[in-house]
Amino acid sequence: GGANSEWTLSFENDAGRRGNEGIELVFDADGNLIDTRDEKANFNSDRPVLSGSYTRTARNGNILNLNGQVGGNIFRRNEISDRSGSIDPVDRLRLFESSEDEFSFELGADYSFSAGPGTLKLIGYHRYEDSPTVSLVTTTFADGRPLQGSRFTRDADEAETIARAEYTFAGLGGDLQFALEGVKNSLEIESTLEQRDASGAFQPVAFEGASARVDEDRAEASLTYSRALAQNLQVQLSAGAEYSEISQTGAQGQTRDFWRPKGFAAFDWKAKKLGYSHAVDV
């Protein structure tokens, strides 16, 4: 047959609009009412995602798959609390606001083609996410005293990159697959905290762990064997090893590495008379 191509494109937005309103009562340990709070809160979110894929099967049987998506998470939360009581004899208005403006994308590709007695599949994947957030608390007083409150900001960057190769060929009465995989992950966080002073002005507050970065480099190799033991019974055996190095920068930063064996045995039995298949992992 000839070459065949397919593609898809989609857009969706998982949006949310929520809120609540009412009176909150605060009591002390003896059951005395010490604060009355008339509160109203709103929670608004949008998660737009644009995604697409492309597949091409060439005349010689080679297969190319491409896929990707770009999206965001836009979140807004606010709570207005009108307070009065003995916690503070002066009426207060407390405003809490938080927001996130996340941006993310991911790209993936794989290509399968004949190589020697078997098939080689090359796979690549990359994902990135940036998540800046802000939380702000502001309290105003009926007697005009300076504002109280704080502001916390954080920017988190996450990334993951994967490269993998799979070579599959016939052998030992079934199929053998040798796989190599390399992965690089990272997480970097920058944070700041500001507190209002006696005059109501923001002042920076130093705290441990405000900035940090974690990186992981991981490599894995495995050999998987699968074959039919009977017309309705399949077996799959796998053995391999993984090496990982995790490094941290910032407060008390350190680097550690790990070795671990990996493997599994799986049996798939098809009960034809009952019309279902049953898989057992060991």
For the stretch 108-146, pLDDT in tens is 999 999 999 999 999 999 999 999 999 999 999 999 999
pLDDT higher than 60, residue 40 = yes
What is the per-residue burial (b if ≥16 Cβ within 10 Å, else e) of 217-255?
ebebebebbbbeeeeeebbbbbebebebeeeeeeeeeee
Residue-wise pLDDT tens digits, 54-98: 999 999 999 999 999 999 999 999 999 999 998 888 999 999 999
Q: Looking at the predicted structure, is the pLDDT value of residue 240 above 80?
A: yes
pLDDT confidence band for 280 (50 / 70 / 90): low
State pTM to two decimals. 0.83
Comparing C-alpha atoms, which of 137, 153, 135, 150 is closest to residue 95? 137
- Nearest residue to 223 via CA among 238, 243, 241: 238
Q: Cα–Cα distance between 216 and 111 in angstroms, integer?
A: 26
Query: What mean pLDDT comes out for the span 23-33?
Result: 94
Q: Which of 178, 162, 37 is nearest to 110 (CA)?
A: 162
- What average pLDDT does the structure give for the chain? 93
Q: Write the pLDDT tens digit of every residue in 170-221.
A: 999 899 999 999 999 999 999 999 999 999 999 999 988 889 999 999 999 9
Would you state the pLDDT for residue 281?
54
pLDDT of 252 above 50: yes
**Residue 72: burial class (beta carbons within 10 Å; 0-12, 13-18, 19+):** buried
pLDDT at 279 exceeding the cut of 60: no
- CB 181 within 8 Å of CB 167: no
